[in-house]
Amino acid sequence: MVSTMTAEVVYIVQEFQWEYNDEWFDLEGDTPIRAFVDRDMAEAYQQRREAEARASFAQSGPRRANFPSFFGGFPRMSTLSEAAFQGRLQALGLPLPPEMPDGDDIAMDLSDDWWEAVWAAVTPDLEEAFWGLFDRLRFYEIVAVEVQG
Amino acid sequence: MKTRTLYLVRPRTPYRILWDADPVYRIRGETIRAFRNRDAAERYAAEAPPPAEVNLIKLNVSFCATPYGETLRAYPDEDAASAADDGPLLTIPVAFFVDWVREIIGIEPPQIAPRSEGMNNREREQELRAAWIEWWDAIQDSLTPAQKRELWAALTLPAYEIVEVPWYRQ
């Protein structure tokens, strides 16, 4: 007989641990903190905690101090290519990073001046989209898991 | 809102955190298993084989000379070695470790010469560390997943840990 019971799924919110290694912040771990039966509730919780973490991170210093340099360069923070990153900035009406000398790219450096200028242009309604450019820089995630036992 | 406790079983490092695209870690959240009761979680953690993939094993070695001879301590990585928070994985005479490496994973350990006359402990530690770490770096890529699993299982604490989280139900 084929069982008609479906396994119950839980949505686990995990917190990431970023640790400073004397050069930059590395993603060093993850800790499950809450589980929800309802995906919407998990997402609402995750988004609230993410916003709090971003705000706290911003207040603790790096926001205006070129935080790509705190994360060891652009590729550690984003899966976007340089071209895609520039395209997204353009679409948001934000300043583009200065052109790099031949042979260089934005891989390791987003200049302090550009960072200052771009944050000055990031209005509150653009903040979410701006953070979205750095899709590897997350403080929380949701993992869906079937409950057993 | 009703809450219960959910018991999560997840692989310990290094099964959980793997290098994905250099230089970014990928967290393997999908390897978590969730249980309604602790007994079932503990049973799973005790009985399940370690995950198939083990990509990240670092070996760091510290050395001390004791009245009983030279011993070697192996840690999963440098952080653990400095913090020693998980304790040394092995604190055994070098000669035993050499035999163990040969027997368990079937690979010849590094050839380490006996301590030279006049060599002090610090010099000997540096010599041993360099030899073992060079050996480890050289062989790690050639180990099969099964060998890595076996090695890790022999080296450390259980492959899984249990984490309790509040489980919010409507």
Decide the pairing of beta strands B160-169 and A25-36: parallel
Q: How confident is the model over A46-53, as a mean pLDDT?
A: 93
Do A31 and B35 lie within an 8 Å CB cutoff?
A: no
- When divided into structural domains, chain A yields a total of 1
Q: What is the pLDDT of residues A56-90, one digit of tens each?
A: 776 665 555 566 667 777 777 888 888 898 899 99
Range in A48-57, A103-112, B93-102 with the lowest mean pLDDT: A103-112
Which ranges of chain B does DSSP label H, i.e. alpha helix? 38-47, 78-83, 94-105, 121-140, 145-155
Domain boundaries in chain B?
2-54+158-169, 60-155
**pLDDT value of residue B73:** 60
Which of B12, B27, B164 to mutate to test binding with chain A, by most A CBs within 10 Å of its CB?
B27
pLDDT of B118 above 60: yes
Look at residue A44 and tell me if it is in a domain: yes
In a domain, A135, yes or no: yes
Mean pLDDT (whole number) for A127-131: 87
ipTM over 0.95: no
Tell me whether the omega of the peptide bond preceding residue B114 falls within 30 degrees of 0, making it cis: no
Q: What is the pLDDT of residues B30-67, one digit of tens each?
A: 568 899 999 999 999 888 876 655 544 455 555 555 55
Helices B94-105/B145-155 angle, 10° precision: 150
Q: What's this model's pTM, rounded to 2 decimal places?
A: 0.67
Residue A88 lies in a domain: yes
At B109 the pLDDT is: 74
Q: What is the CA radius of gyration of chain B?
A: 19
**Structural contact between residues B28 and B18, judged by C-beta atoms closer than 8 angstroms:** yes
Which positions in chain B touch A34 (Cβ < 8 Å)? 165-168
Q: Which of B16, B25, B40 sits opposite A148 (nearest CB)?
A: B40
Q: Among A14, A37, A147, whose Cβ lies nearest the Cβ of B168? A: A37
Nearest-CA distance from A91 to chain B in Å?
27
* Banded model confidence at residue B130, pLDDT cuts 50, 70, 90: confident
Q: Does pLDDT of B28 surpass 60?
A: no
The answer to whether residue A136 is domain-embedded is yes
What's the pLDDT at B21? 36
Give the model confidence (pLDDT) of A13-36 as tens digits: 999 888 776 777 777 778 899 999
Tens-place pLDDT, residues B78-98: 555 555 444 444 555 556 566
Q: What residues contact A79, with CB distance under 8 A and at least 6 apart? A: A135, A136
Q: What is the mean pLDDT of chain A?
A: 80
Burial of A137 (0-12, 13-18, 19+ CB in 10 A): buried
Mean pLDDT for A127-132 is: 88
Query: Is A2 part of a structural domain of the chain?
Result: no
Contact residues on chain A for B33, CB-CB shorter than 8 A: 145, 148
Predicted pLDDT of residue B67: 52
Domain residues for the domain of A104 are 9-146
Q: Which residues of A touch B30 (CB under 8 A)?
A: 143, 145
Q: What percentage of chain B carries pLDDT values higher than 90?
A: 14
Instruction: Pick from B18, B168, B169 the residue to mutate for testing the A interface (most A CBs within 10 Å).
Output: B168
Residue B86 pLDDT: 46
